[in-house]
Amino acid sequence: MDKVNRLEGPAGPRPKKAFSGRNIMLYGTLIMVSLYYLLPLYVMVVTSLKGMPEIRLGNIFSPPMEVTFKPWVKAWSEACTGLNCEGLSRGFWNSVRITVPSVIISIAIASVNGYALANWRFKGADIFFTILIFGAFIPYQVMLYPIVILLREIGLYGGLPGLVIVHSIFGMPILTLLFRNYFSSLPEELFKAARVDGARFWGIYFRIMLPMSLPIFVVAMILQVTGIWNDFLFGVVYTRPEYYPMTVQLNNIVNSVQGVKEYNVNMAATILTGLVPLVIYFVSGKLFVRGIAAGAVKG
Amino acid sequence: MKAMLSALAVSTAIFAASPASAADLEVMHWWTSGGEAAAVGELAKAFDGTEHSWVDGAIAGGGGTARPIMVSRLIGGDPMGAFQFNHGRQAEELIEAGLLRDMTAIAEAEGWLDVVYPQSLLDSCTVDGKIYCAPVNIHSWQWLWLSNKAFESVGAAVPANWDEFVAAAPALRKAGLQPLAVGQQSWQTSGAFNVLMVALAGPDVLVKVYGDKDVDLAAGPELASVFAAAADAREMSQGSNVQDWNQATNLVITDKAGGQIMGDWAQGEFQVAGKVAGSDYTCLPGLGVNELIDTAGDAFYFPIVDDAEITAAQDVLAATLLSKETQVAFNLAKGSLPVRGDVDLSAANDCMKKGLEILAAGNTLPAVTQLNTEDTNNQLNDLFVEFFNDTGITPEAAQARFVDIIKSGE
Amino acid sequence: MQNARPNQLFRNMTAKIAAIPMILTALCVFVGGTVWTIVYSFTSSKLLPRAKFVGFDQYERLWSTSRWTVSLENLFIYGLCSLVLSLIIGFLLASLLDQKIRFENTFRSILLYPFALSFIVTGLVWQWILNPEFGVQSVVRGAGWIGFSFNPLYDSELVIYGVLIAGLWQGSGLIMVLMLAGMRGIDQDIWKASRVDGIPMWKTYILIIIPMMRPVFITTLVIIASGIVKVYDLVVAQTGGGPGISSEVPAKYVYDYMFQGQNLGQGFAASTMMLLAVLIVVIPWAYLEFGSKNRG
């Protein structure tokens, strides 16, 4: 825990000494909070490694007496959905096929929206923006049938492109808000300087705004990857079975009850499904460095 | 040969559209629990035995989850080959919208009018004289499932009717057992109430209250006594602390609870758990008071599809679903009763045999789902889940709200 | 911005073209869908949307239903607590992580991971942890404190707070990350200047950083609030609305009547009421945001 203050890059207030009371408080608090956040994960992992008889004994916090990986194997490759007994593995690649384009397209559209709204405000923009914010509050189940009809009319019902559109539509309100507010909190001088240099709409977007906005892109990615990867309803309503994402299997595993609920398999399936977003959180965290803004002004 | 054909069908499924006459038929349903999945397996096996093959589209979570998905596929213009639906009043809308196929020709060719028993099953598939669905089974609600061991362990005889069960409840409670297992899902509580109504007030009362929306009867003394019995049941159900119906059934299977009021689908759970009717558990149709069963059930519908091969496969599926062999295999696995009176169910266990006898004797009544709209049923669900969980609501107050719901029903 | 000048029309054309997807979505989907929902809330639609108009019948019934009133009360309690606590917890955690600490990536991932998990199982795990027979209560009692009582899920007065605990656990990580992204967008010279002036850190946060982060706070507020209005899965998984109807929420009412009860009209009426409430909040906000000054 020493030499905390020797890291690269500009920072918030600088801690004075490595072992100061302040640092002990800081790390103490963080560790306590982390333990609290980890407790349910602990329960899940421990449960997923137990056999059903042990789970019925009912001590959710005790470590497994006999570790078994069967629930994990079952969740991944054996759990049944009706007659298909291929577990989560069945829809994994479909989920990837859905998530990758949906995340990229929805973030691309929303960041351009936010940029246009923050820096190139045109007449009526505020109205559309207000409608979008309102859209964030519409429960999407209510929109289920109108969108089915909409997609049918433009001939995209049942396929991947239709689903990508749906994800882009429902991600748009929050993401646009996110980018708009972030871009408008950036120092205005940057934008003005670029305009004076003769840069246009796209030039400023790609050369000034994008490099300065990595943290907010990470947040947008976190939101979208999680939302789209975990989506069940849109995946089944707007596509055919050959595109069904792995959450269809997850829903079947955790929602279909085979006499006794197999809690260990449920837990394993949930952790397995959550792994992809988790990896992305961790990897993309590197982009969360600060000081880009300051660097851009001076560099 | 058949095996080869179905192998061929599978390979066409993998290598996509090849112009063989065999078609892959996507069948959507919400049968995912143990006994249910086994039963669907029988249907698929029978259908795969033809030149076509069954593509399973199971969506877990029951009708509430699966229905919007099915309806979306239909109105989105990309329908599946066939789907399970509660027949009766809701499907009428899909038929009126021109989304479903008229199956009358198959029904006539297969002689459904002669073999389907009771005929009321076909009536609920029929709109304007045309048959739109293939009924596959009969499910009835009016059963009380009892754990023999639970009663033996407290030195009581296994009850033969509702009153004896109520009388034995304090002994079970004292021994730390749950007298009556009821899950938190709201339809379980309203279902139990409706069973009490049939058993204690008689089937005519239920038909008049729900079918004719007889408000005076709903406010009258017959119903008041049913509400009093429901209050007993509420008392006996306190402390169940489970959510799903089969978790509640599991309390009976593991002898932790005395009994459960649940439809005959609970039978499948006992079967999966390897329990024997008569020695491990006892079933009392009509709560042992009024031996009657209703004739609710499941049916398959067939959307209009723009593909002759699929249409041909739909015909084959409809015929297969009602064939003698399929009916026996499917219903044995599902724990439900066959829709034909001419099949041999000697393999059936004690409880199913009881059901068959009642059915043969004609002691049936229409299902609540055929009398009420789902909307009314949903309101009843809300009322009874509140009633069963809040001992502060008196039977009289609950009856007053019940009358309001009946009044607004259609 | 200097957007009022007419000679910028051409350059603003690019912005307008770039905003076409947004305009289409706003008009066709959100406005169109809302109007469609409102229109059909005056019909007796059941399984399929059908234009059989029945006036205000669906609304009369909605407001005479005890489940709807209970749902609204719950939403109010849950919403208020969730809003305040999410903001406080999110901001505190973000400012802790912003102290240029070691293992920031690890800590951030730990606080954020609940967001990646499906609500169905989150609800289940918290159902266990809060279960009186094998959760926290039994552990504390086992440790010697016999009189300890903590049973929020099977107490109809407390159940909504039990849901709140799980909801905060799942969602506060995202709020923290948002706040952190906002803090990282702030010019580092601010910190240097405040340090030179000898302003204490907490004062810098409250007087300088928070006002500068106003746009991020607005984003966060909308995200939390829209999550609150739509809260559904968590309740279904954790309590199923029980015991009885004491943890029901409006969104659950909408879905239950649309798809379970097959009364689309009733579901649409309930969601129209929800949207009306949202409008009452959003319109004054838009007024404040766009009416007074150019940039927030």
Does residue B253 form part of some domain? yes
| B286 to A232, B262, B377: CA distances (angstroms) | 40, 11, 20
In contact, B377 and B369? CB cutoff 8 Å: yes
Task: Return d(Cα A137, Cα A293) in angstroms, integer.
Answer: 32
Which amino acid is it at B284?
A: L
Is B247 touching C (CB cutoff 8 A)? Answer: no
Low-confidence ranges of chain A (pLDDT < 50): 1-11, 292-299
Tokens 């089937």 correspond to: B203
**CB-based contact A281 C116, cutoff 8 Å:** yes
pLDDT of residue C219: 87
Task: Return d(Cα A18, Cα A197) in angstroms, integer.
Answer: 45
3-class DSSP string for B91-133: HHHHHHCCCECCCHHHHHHCCHHHHECCCHHHHCCEECCEECE
Same domain, A56 and A104: no
**CB-based contact C14 A200, cutoff 8 Å:** yes
Q: Which pLDDT tens digit goes with each residue over B302-346?
A: 999 989 999 999 999 999 999 999 999 998 888 788 999 888 877
The total domain count for chain C is: 1
Does residue A83 form part of some domain? no
Same domain, B169 and B311: no
Same domain, B242 and B386: yes
Domain with C125, as residue range(s), is 59-291
User: In the beta sheet, which residues pair with residue B57?
Assistant: B28
Is B71 touching A (CB cutoff 8 A)? Answer: yes
pLDDT in tens, chain C (296 residues): 444 444 555 557 888 888 899 999 999 899 999 999 999 999 998 888 888 899 999 999 999 998 999 999 999 999 999 999 999 999 999 999 988 888 888 999 999 999 988 877 788 888 888 877 778 888 888 888 888 888 888 788 899 999 999 999 999 999 999 999 888 877 778 888 888 888 888 888 888 888 888 888 988 998 999 889 888 888 888 888 878 888 999 999 998 888 888 889 999 999 999 999 888 888 888 888 776 544 43
Q: What residue in B sits closest to C243 (Cα-Cα)?
A: B389
What residues have CB less than 8 Å from B26, skipping those under 6 apart? A241, B55, B57, B80, B81, B82
**Partners of residue C241 in chain B, C-beta under 8 Å:** 186, 385
| A290 to A178, C185, C206: CA distances (angstroms) | 18, 7, 20
Domain with A214, as residue range(s), is 90-298
In contact, C216 and C41? CB cutoff 8 Å: no
Task: Return d(Cα B334, Cα B268) in angstroms, integer.
Answer: 6
Its ipTM equals: 0.84
**Partners of residue B68 in chain C, C-beta under 8 Å:** 258-259
- Locate C35 and state its tokens: 């109007």
Same domain, A12 and A144: no
Least Cα separation, residue A1 to chain B (angstroms):
48
Same domain, A61 and A152: no
Neighbours of chain A (3+ CB pairs under 8 A): B, C
DSSP SS3 for A129: helix
Least Cα separation, residue B108 to chain A (angstroms):
31
Does residue C7 form part of some domain? no
Burial label, A17 (beta-carbon count in 10 A; 0-12, 13-18, 19+): exposed
- Locate B338 and state its tokens: 């066959």
Same domain, B63 and B183: no
Q: Looking at A68, A101, A120, which one is the last position of a domain?
A: A68
Is C34 touching A (CB cutoff 8 A)? Answer: yes
Same domain, B283 and B302: no
Task: Return d(Cα C98, Cα C177) in angstroms, integer.
Answer: 11
Same domain, B256 and B403: yes
Is B58 touching A (CB cutoff 8 A)? Answer: yes
What residues have CB less than 8 Å from B42, skipping those under 6 apart? B326, B329, B330, B333
Does residue A81 form part of some domain? no
**CB-based contact C254 A139, cutoff 8 Å:** yes
Same domain, A97 and A9: no
Is B244 touching C (CB cutoff 8 A)? Answer: no
Which amino acid is it at B236?
A: M
**Closest by CA position to A171, among listed A130, A125, A257, A231:** A231
Is B65 touching C (CB cutoff 8 A)? Answer: yes
The structure's pTM equals: 0.86
Same domain, A282 and A170: yes
- Locate A88 and state its tokens: 């989560």
**Partners of residue C266 in chain B, C-beta under 8 Å:** 375
Low-confidence ranges of chain B (pLDDT < 70): 1-20, 87-88
The total domain count for chain A is: 2
What residues have CB less than 8 Å from C145, skipping those under 6 apart? none
Is B392 touching A (CB cutoff 8 A)? Answer: no
DSSP SS3 for B259: strand
Interface test with B, best of A250, A257, A261, A263 (most B CBs within 10 A): A257
Does residue A79 form part of some domain? no
pLDDT of residue C176: 94
**Closest by CA position to B136, among listed B292, B351, B293, B296:** B296
Burial label, A193 (beta-carbon count in 10 A; 0-12, 13-18, 19+): middle
Burial label, B396 (beta-carbon count in 10 A; 0-12, 13-18, 19+): exposed
Which positions 17-56 of B are in contact with A (Cβ < 8 Å)?
A: 26, 29, 31-34, 37, 40-41, 44, 54-56
Does residue B351 form part of some domain? no
Question: Within 10 Å of residue B279's Cβ, how many Cβ atoms?
Answer: 10
Domain with B263, as residue range(s), is 143-294+364-408
User: In the beta sheet, which residues pair with residue B116?
Assistant: B340
In contact, B302 and B101? CB cutoff 8 Å: yes
Same domain, B302 and B199: no
CATH number at residue A123: 1.10.3720.10
DSSP SS3 for B262: coil
Task: Return d(Cα A149, Cα C271) in angstroms, integer.
Answer: 20
DSSP SS3 for C161: helix
Q: Which pLDDT tens digit goes with each residue over B142-193?
A: 999 999 999 999 999 999 999 999 999 999 999 999 999 998 888 899 999 9
Task: Return d(Cα C154, Cα C171) in angstroms, integer.
Answer: 23
| Nearest residue, CB atoms, A157 vs list B32, B59, B78 | B78
Neighbours of chain C (3+ CB pairs under 8 A): A, B
Interface test with B, best of C259, C263, C264, C266 (most B CBs within 10 A): C259
Is B72 touching C (CB cutoff 8 A)? Answer: no
**Partners of residue B390 in chain C, C-beta under 8 Å:** 156, 243-244
Is C266 touching B (CB cutoff 8 A)? Answer: yes
Task: Return d(Cα C158, Cα C238) in angstroms, integer.
Answer: 13
- Locate C152 and state its tokens: 């929020």
Torsion on CA atoms B69, B73, B79, B83, rounded to nearest 10: 20
**CB-based contact A139 C279, cutoff 8 Å:** no
Is C140 touching A (CB cutoff 8 A)? Answer: no
**CB-based contact B378 C244, cutoff 8 Å:** no
Q: What residue in A sits closest to B74 (Cα-Cα)?
A: A148
Q: What residue in A sits closest to B244 (Cα-Cα)?
A: A257
Tokens 């329960």 correspond to: A43
Burial label, A175 (beta-carbon count in 10 A; 0-12, 13-18, 19+): buried
Task: Return d(Cα C176, Cα C95) in angstroms, integer.
Answer: 9
Which positions 148-177 of C are in contact with A (Cβ < 8 Å)?
A: 169, 173-174, 177
Does residue C136 form part of some domain? yes
Q: At what angle do helices A246-255 and C119-129 cross, to 10 degrees?
A: 30
**Partners of residue A270 in chain C, C-beta under 8 Å:** 117-118, 120-121
CATH number at residue B383: 3.40.190.10
Is B255 touching A (CB cutoff 8 A)? Answer: no
Q: Are strands B24-29 and B82-85 parallel, antiparallel or unpaired?
A: parallel
Sign of CA dihedral B383, B388, B392, B397: positive
Does residue B228 form part of some domain? yes
The total domain count for chain B is: 2
Least Cα separation, residue C213 to chain B (angstroms):
41
pLDDT of residue B15: 39
Q: Which pLDDT tens digit goes with each residue over C170-190?
A: 999 999 999 998 888 777 788
Query: Rounded to a whole number, what is the distance in angstroms from the first to the last CA of chain C?
Result: 12
Backbone angles phi, psi at A64, to 5 degrees: -65, 135
Task: Return d(Cα C163, Cα C152) in angstroms, integer.
Answer: 9
Same domain, B283 and B322: no
Does residue B400 form part of some domain? yes
**Closest by CA position to B281, among listed B260, B253, B247, B250:** B253
| B205 to B28, B195, B208: CA distances (angstroms) | 36, 12, 5
Name all contacts of A76-81 with Cβ < 8 Å and 24+ positions apart.
A76/A268, A76/A272, A79/A249, A79/A252, A79/A253, A79/A265, A79/A269, A80/A252, A80/A258, A80/B32, A80/B37, A81/A248, A81/A249, A81/A252, A81/A253, A81/A256, A81/B32, A81/B56, A81/B58, A81/B60
DSSP SS3 for A163: helix
**CB-based contact B75 A256, cutoff 8 Å:** no
Is C141 touching B (CB cutoff 8 A)? Answer: no
Interface test with A, best of C47, C98, C113, C206 (most A CBs within 10 A): C113
**CB-based contact C46 B93, cutoff 8 Å:** yes
In contact, C171 and B258? CB cutoff 8 Å: no
**CB-based contact B64 C263, cutoff 8 Å:** no
Task: Return d(Cα B121, Cα B136) in angstroms, integer.
Answer: 9
Same domain, A101 and A233: yes
**CB-based contact A185 C216, cutoff 8 Å:** yes
Cα A34-A37-A41 angle, rounded to 5 deg: 120
**Partners of residue C111 in chain A, C-beta under 8 Å:** 33-34, 37
Q: Are strands B257-261 and B82-85 parallel, antiparallel or unpaired?
A: unpaired
